[in-house]
Amino acid sequence: MAIVSSQVIIGLEVHVELSTRTKMFSRAPSPAHRAHHHAAPNTLTDPTVLALPGALPVPNAHALELAIRVGLALNCRIAEVTRWDRKSYFYPDMPKAYQISQFDLPICADGVVHVPADDPAQPPLRVGIIRAHLEEDAGKLLHEAPGGAAIDFSIVDYNRAGTPLLEIVTEPDFRAPDQVVRFARDLRTICRNLGATEGVMQKGHMRFEPNINCVLTLEGGRTVRTPIVEIKNLNSFKSLRDAIEHEASEQPRRWLADRREFGPGTKTTRGWDDARGVTVLQREKEDAHDYRYFPDPDLAPVRVEPAWVQSIRDALPPLPAERSATYTRDWEIPAADAAAIAAERAAADLLEAAVGALSQLGIPPVRGGRAAANIIVQVLLPRASEDGPPALSPLWLAAIVKLRDEGSLSNQGVAPMLDAAAHDTPPSPDSPDGAFRRATDAARAAGLLVVRDDAALHQWARSVIDANPKVAADVRAGKLAAAGRLVGEVMKLSGGSADAKSAREVILSLLSQT
């Protein structure tokens, strides 16, 4: 029987490692905190993590707070009472042979977010959040030796075991891979801005598990649903997109071969083979009763006081989408630049503080905001590491913007000035005026102040024109883009002290006269 059409249906489970300093139920250091990213294997353990006799769990209050932050950002209902449950299954990287999780009383539930469409004319996609519950992560099994050598056994690293994990489960509201990736990117940005996670994908701080099946329309109009496939532990947006696209195209062919339809006991889990671009069957998926959930007898239920939730709500920073819209509306920053800055909380805080300092230096918010945003996007964000953009005092940034605004610093001088700010050893200036004076002195000492000698600028321009007759002829013939090469030569002659804009004006003026 032929398939007339296929519609993919996708739900998503997202595992977010919370960046607490210690683990979910013990005082052992957590690898999800930046202080312990590079810990040697099996050094972040204690009797509780290793499930030694007599060790008892104690919940991490900070993990609860971070979970509530994320839940509020996702418009979830925060439970008044939440409980810890044992999820029983054996795996070598789980010393207890069960995982402490949450079953019927999760900390967060019944949320909703709206994912903007790529086409602004289209309405956003409504995505329901079924639940966001806390649990502990498992350890890590290695099936090859460090360095990649083959071994005929497995190595276990318990560093990750017990790390606080927030599992976010969506409704099956997605109908295309692009929608899932957009939601995943936005969720990562939100969680990072809330300080809930470092969000370093390569370290497994966020892992995605899409649940995928298809509604097939057959000849004659009958519809069937394929069994759900859960793809495990995807840790990049590319693999998330590729795995969904593969399943969306493979499931109709799989149905034609086996005629299996959606129903109890038909769900399977598959892994993603990135090298071959295919999913690989792992196991038949357990149902909830297979895990034998029951309340953990070592942990009392948690009563979440409304006043505590309200204090967390009051302390939430503006979400990235809100900040981005504000920058575009109030400071006329281009939408792409505004979104890039808002995605990094440190960059957004830097921009807002710098605009305030620039106002004290006499530069209006619109002009100051656009100029500061340009430096952040063009210079600071490209230098960002996994920990975010380099640290910079907003007073220093404001001073550099003012030097550039008044023509005392060239575009080429911005990066060296940022380097000088990074190595500024005296105590930080306590006012915009103090920062501006220090930045001016630093620019003068480094030879970065723009030369305002018109005679020197004309001499450099004339020398460059005489030395590059063919380029000069191209400019005279109307190829104005070629003037950039002449401007570059003037900057070389001046040692970077000339203003590029002024140099271009002088060059074009001289060429128009000959």
**CATH number (domain holding residue 465):** 1.10.10
Three-state SS for 382?
A: helix
pLDDT at 226 over 90: yes
Is residue 189 domain-shared with residue 282, that is, in the same domain? Answer: yes
Pairing of strands 268-273, 229-231: parallel
Q: With bands split at pLDDT 50, 70 and 90, how would you rate the model's confidence at 175? A: very high
The answer to whether residue 273 is domain-embedded is yes
The answer to whether residue 110 is domain-embedded is yes
Computed on alpha carbons and rounded to an integer, the radius of gyration of the chain in Å comes to 29
Whose CA is closest to 411, among 491, 473, 335? 491
- Residue 289 has a pLDDT of 64
Is residue 441 domain-shared with residue 470, that is, in the same domain? Answer: no
> What is the average pLDDT across 249-261?
94
- Residue 233 has a pLDDT of 93
Question: What does the block give as tokens for 225?
Answer: 């649903």
Q: Exposure of 448 by Cβ count < 10 A (0-12 exposed, 13-18 middle, 19+ buried)? A: buried
Backbone φ, ψ for residue 29 (5° rounding): -60, 150
Q: With bands split at pLDDT 50, 70 and 90, how would you rate the model's confidence at 270? A: very high
pLDDT at 286 over 70: no
Specify the higher pLDDT residue, 427 or 185: 185
User: 134 with 165: CB under 8 angstroms?
Assistant: yes
- Residue 385 has a pLDDT of 72
The answer to whether residue 425 is domain-embedded is yes
- Residue 514 has a pLDDT of 67
> What is the average pLDDT across 223-246?
96
User: 420 with 446: CB under 8 angstroms?
Assistant: yes
Specify the higher pLDDT residue, 120 or 279: 279
Q: With bands split at pLDDT 50, 70 and 90, how would you rate the model's confidence at 1? A: confident
Is residue 132 domain-shared with residue 198, that is, in the same domain? Answer: yes
Residue % of the chain over a pLDDT of 70: 96
The answer to whether residue 488 is domain-embedded is yes
Pairing of strands 3-17, 164-170: antiparallel
Domain boundary among 445, 479, 496: 445
- Residue 426 has a pLDDT of 59
- Residue 118 has a pLDDT of 79
pLDDT at 213 over 90: yes
Is residue 255 domain-shared with residue 335, that is, in the same domain? Answer: no
pLDDT at 113 over 80: yes
Q: What is the torsional sign of CA 61, 67, 70, 76?
A: negative
Among the residue ranges 28-42, 146-160, 330-344, the one predicted with the least confidence is: 146-160
Cα–Cα distance list, 478 to 44, 463, 466, 481, 511 (Å)? 67, 21, 18, 9, 11
- Residue 425 has a pLDDT of 60
Beta partners for residue 205, in sequence order: none
Domain boundary among 445, 468, 488: 445
pLDDT at 453 over 90: no
> What is the average pLDDT across 369-383?
94
- Residue 406 has a pLDDT of 87
Mean pLDDT across the chain, nearest whole number?
A: 92
Q: What is the torsional sign of CA 90, 92, 94, 97?
A: positive
pLDDT at 188 over 70: yes
Q: Which domain holds residue 357?
A: 317-445
CA atoms of 511 and 42, how far apart (whole Å): 70
- Residue 223 has a pLDDT of 94
pLDDT digits (tens, 9 = 90+) for 69-89: 999 999 999 999 999 999 998
Beta partners for residue 216, in sequence order: 6, 224
- Residue 216 has a pLDDT of 96
Is residue 164 domain-shared with residue 287, that is, in the same domain? Answer: yes
If one counts every other C-beta atom within 10 angstroms of the C-beta of residue 344, the result is 21
- Residue 115 has a pLDDT of 93
Is residue 213 domain-shared with residue 67, that is, in the same domain? Answer: yes
Among the residue ranges 223-237, 355-369, 417-431, 494-508, the one predicted with the least confidence is: 417-431
Is residue 220 domain-shared with residue 199, that is, in the same domain? Answer: yes
pLDDT at 439 over 80: yes
Specify the higher pLDDT residue, 191 or 494: 191
- Residue 449 has a pLDDT of 82
The answer to whether residue 346 is domain-embedded is yes
> What is the average pLDDT across 214-231?
95
Residue tagged 């895990």 (tokens): 291
- Residue 76 has a pLDDT of 98
The answer to whether residue 494 is domain-embedded is yes
Q: With bands split at pLDDT 50, 70 and 90, how would you rate the model's confidence at 428? A: low
If one counts every other C-beta atom within 10 angstroms of the C-beta of residue 207, the result is 20
- Residue 499 has a pLDDT of 74
Is residue 228 domain-shared with residue 360, that is, in the same domain? Answer: no
The answer to whether residue 104 is domain-embedded is yes
Q: With bands split at pLDDT 50, 70 and 90, how would you rate the model's confidence at 281? A: very high
Number of domains in the chain: 3
Is residue 294 domain-shared with residue 334, that is, in the same domain? Answer: no
What is the helix (H) or strand (E) element at residue 65, kind and residue range? Answer: helix 61-73
Supply the DSSP symbol for 40.
Answer: P
Is residue 9 domain-shared with residue 64, that is, in the same domain? Answer: yes
Whose CA is closest to 49, among 96, 15, 112? 96
Among the residue ranges 152-166, 291-305, 318-332, 386-400, the one predicted with the least confidence is: 386-400
Cα–Cα distance list, 388 to 92, 111, 322 (Å)? 35, 29, 20
Domain boundary among 417, 445, 473: 445
Q: With bands split at pLDDT 50, 70 and 90, how would you rate the model's confidence at 5? A: very high
- Residue 375 has a pLDDT of 95
pLDDT at 435 over 70: yes
Residue % of the chain over a pLDDT of 90: 69
pLDDT at 47 over 90: yes
User: 194 with 70: CB under 8 angstroms?
Assistant: yes
User: 302 with 80: CB under 8 angstroms?
Assistant: no
User: 310 with 357: CB under 8 angstroms?
Assistant: no
Specify the higher pLDDT residue, 447 or 472: 472
- Residue 13 has a pLDDT of 98
Is residue 297 domain-shared with residue 330, that is, in the same domain? Answer: no
If one counts every other C-beta atom within 10 angstroms of the C-beta of residue 219, the result is 9
- Residue 117 has a pLDDT of 86
Among the residue ranges 54-68, 221-235, 241-255, 485-499, the one predicted with the least confidence is: 485-499
Please state whether 147 falls in left (phi above 0), alpha (psi between -120 and 50) or beta.
left
Whose CA is closest to 216, among 493, 2, 388, 11? 2
The answer to whether residue 312 is domain-embedded is no
Is residue 337 domain-shared with residue 295, that is, in the same domain? Answer: no
pLDDT at 422 over 80: no
Residue 287, amino acid: D
- Edge-to-edge strands, sheet with 294-295: 98-101, 85-88, 294-295
CA atoms of 162 and 306, how far apart (whole Å): 28
Three-state SS for 133?
A: strand
H runs (alpha helix) in 74-193:
177-193
What is the helix (H) or strand (E) element at residue 16, kind and residue range? Answer: strand 3-17
Please state whether 110 falls in left (phi above 0), alpha (psi between -120 and 50) or beta.
left
CA atoms of 357 and 399, how far apart (whole Å): 9
**Residues in CB range of 298: below 8 A, 6 or more apart:** 56, 57
Annotate 436-456 with DSSP letters as a single string: HHHHHHHHHHTT-BPP--HHH
